[in-house]
Structure 1
Amino acid sequence: MASPSSFRAVYKVVDEQEIDVDVYLPQSETAKGVAGYPVIIDIHGGAFMLGSSDMVNKDQIQDCLNRGWIVLVPNHRLCPQVDLLDGPMRDCRDLLAWVYDGGLQDAVTSETNIPYSLDLDHVFAFGTSSGGTLALSLGFGVPRRVAGIFDMYGPCNFSDGFWTSELPHIASKLPAGLTEDFINQVYAERPVPIRGGVSLEGQAPGAPNFSDPRQAFAFTQIAQGSVMKAIYPKGDWDTVDPLRNISASFPPTFIVHGTEDVMVPMSLSKDLHAGLLAHGVKCGMEEVPDEGHTFAAKMKVGSRTWEIQRKGFDFLESLIDQA
């Protein structure tokens, strides 16, 4: 099956650097009702330090297109030169504002002669791993929230002891001889990159490439249990932790997490789910048997894993049907 096609749009400019988004349009006859086309923002993973818009599951994009949704796959600035709040979160929130303020409509209109009217009452957020956290960040700290969120194994509960725990199975992959001077070369990158090596989802053959300071830096932080310190040294979790920002008005949220995940333990998603339930937020959670972290990259259409994770998109679609 051919990969879905997209066009590039620029949603913001920072220090003369264009930050872009891949826009995927469904077939014009698949509009969902008279309100227009729902929009879903699909955010890549990579521990906030790696990845790009190229590194998302194209089958999931096609699933959303088949539902008659416009799919946006953004790039964002990568930590650690910018921190989590001022970089990835700010960019994704600015993308959401660009959608609501008419930027997406203008971009689509200029790209095609087919009229695509947008259903701005149904703008959704979806992401895997760190992208799941960024999707959740579109449910708080913004003037207008998304209408629903699908979070696949996204980090949260940043005060949990796991986030300062060493991960020996990652440390064993690091080559000998990595120095602080070498990995800290990432801080000298200008402009702040919006594309970085691998996404941790395992798409690149032979990944990771430890001759790249960025990849070596990211995996070193993961191994040492210092990711959160690297990407958000302020440690003010109240501003960035989705778990601490749940309220009764938080968007409906669905969570999918693998039972064998040792990179982001499923217990953290269970904490998030419990918080949503406690605040009366419409929500759901599915545990995927026998799957570890980043399984979204490798799952096969029609497999048990595929059908389980698809319930997240079904959940979002149900929000349209109930409108």
Structure 2
Amino acid sequence: MQDTEHMLIYDENTHETDARYKALHVTRSYLMNTYVFKKIGNQEIKADIYFAEQTKDEQKRPAVIFIHGGGLIMGHRKAILPEHIQAFHDGGFHFVSINYRLAPETKLPEILDDIRDAWAWLHDKADSLGINRDRMAILGHSAGAYLTLLSGYQLNPRPAAVVSMAGYCKLTSESFTAPAPYYVREYASVDESEARKTIGQHMISESGPNDSMQRYLGRGLFYLFCRQKGIWLYEVTGHDPDDRAWFAKYEPIQNVSASYPPTMLLHGEPDTDIPFEQSLLMQQELARYGVTHKFLRDPNWGHTFLYMPNDESVDEAFRQIVSFLQQHV
């Protein structure tokens, strides 16, 4: 299933793409097609593929699959800046951005199923899409980076490489099981009834134009409520955080081995949403098992650093990401 769409304008103030903004025709030398890679009832789960320009005698290119963030509660596949897509194209990669079902209506095991199904779909369709199925990497931000780190041992075959931007590897840390001091200190207490009005009973695979993680509106308000009360982990999994045996298979920190894919970690030291220590722990575990990895840290990056337009440190970070993938994919 396929239909052609255009790239949406990116709101540089809120760091979000938004259906309220007018569509831009893509004038660069690549095509973006939207595909439905999975359908559950009436719910279509979609992937956008931004095709890099290929020469006539070129058969297949490697690909980077992007998984958006949003606390597993909100977000959509449009949450990427056009210049970053172009950076991957310039490096020789097709770029794929996927949706997945969102919590709390859908829980973590089923969200992971969507990542597996997107991966299987890409492998199945690779030849017709001009993608080299043996040269596919996964990149994600925040919750998408967590799902990316999960993919390093949950997918079969494993990705050729993974890139985590402001991600996390240990769900059962106090950061996610207790009220978050930053959100308690910096924001007014959210009323539970108001927070729960923003979610529904039916599964969704992308949040809407009135949802904002930066302004804590819509589903973003529910996320803020969960972090203030220390119930985020329960809401996205349906399991008590004390059930450590259940969580073991969903914690990348517990599942690193010598066969884990080459990994790049990026994290801002002052990140107020996902503690920098989460990436530091993952880096230490990768080193312990001798996994090829690179850790890029910055004293000035906030949690949404990748959405800072025209920032040289971010541009350089993406150049290093592309270089790392060119070496290992």
Is the Cα contact below 8 Å between 1:288 and 1:308 reproduced in 2? no
Shift of 1:309: 4.5
Is the Cα contact below 8 Å between 1:55 and 1:199 reproduced in 2? no
Following the alignment from structure 1 to structure 2, what is the Cα–Cα distance between the partners of residues 171 and 5?
44
Please state whether the residue corresponding to 2:306 is helix, strand or coil.
helix
Following the alignment from structure 1 to structure 2, what is the Cα–Cα distance between the partners of residues 169 and 310?
32
Stretch deviating more after TM superposition (155-164 or 60-69) = 155-164
Q: 1:76 matched to which residue of 2? A: 100
Q: 1:155 matched to which residue of 2? A: 168
Q: 2:305 matched to which residue of 1? A: 295
Following the alignment from structure 1 to structure 2, what is the Cα–Cα distance between the partners of residues 292 and 249?
31
1:1-323 matches, within 5 Å, as: 6-29=32-55, 36-87=60-111, 89-102=112-125, 104-106=126-128, 108=129, 116=130, 118-171=131-184, 174=187, 178-186=190-198, 188-196=200-208, 197-198=210-211, 200=213, 202=214, 207-209=215-217, 212=218, 214-234=219-239, 235=241, 236-300=246-310, 303-320=312-329
Shift of 1:216: 1.6
Please state whether the residue corresponding to 2:150 is helix, strand or coil.
helix
Following the alignment from structure 2 to structure 1, what is the Cα–Cα distance between the partners of residues 232 and 127?
37
Following the alignment from structure 2 to structure 1, what is the Cα–Cα distance between the partners of residues 201 and 49?
27
Number of residue equivalences = 297
User: Which string of whole-angstrom CA distances, capped at 9 and with x for unpartnered residues, describes residues 6-49 of structure 1?
Assistant: 21001011123110011100011399xx6720011011110110
Shift of 1:190: 2.2
Please state whether the residue corresponding to 2:164 is helix, strand or coil.
strand
Cα 1:171/1:250, change in 2 over 3 Å:
same
Following the alignment from structure 1 to structure 2, what is the Cα–Cα distance between the partners of residues 30 and 282?
35
Following the alignment from structure 1 to structure 2, what is the Cα–Cα distance between the partners of residues 35 and 151?
29
Is the Cα contact below 8 Å between 2:102 and 2:206 reproduced in 1? yes
Q: Which amino acid aligns with 1:48?
A: L
Cα 1:100/1:49, change in 2 over 3 Å:
same
Shift of 1:151: 0.6
Cα 1:222/1:94, change in 2 over 3 Å:
same
Stretch deviating more after TM superposition (191-200 or 274-283) = 191-200
Is the Cα contact below 8 Å between 1:53 and 1:75 reproduced in 2? yes
Please state whether the residue corresponding to 2:197 is helix, strand or coil.
helix
Following the alignment from structure 2 to structure 1, what is the Cα–Cα distance between the partners of residues 166 and 109?
19
Following the alignment from structure 2 to structure 1, what is the Cα–Cα distance between the partners of residues 237 and 56?
42
Amino-acid identity (%): 25
CA-based RMSD: 2.4
Following the alignment from structure 1 to structure 2, what is the Cα–Cα distance between the partners of residues 238 and 285?
24
Following the alignment from structure 2 to structure 1, what is the Cα–Cα distance between the partners of residues 186 and 281?
30
Shift of 1:53: 1.0
Give the unaligned 5+ runs of structure 2: 1-25
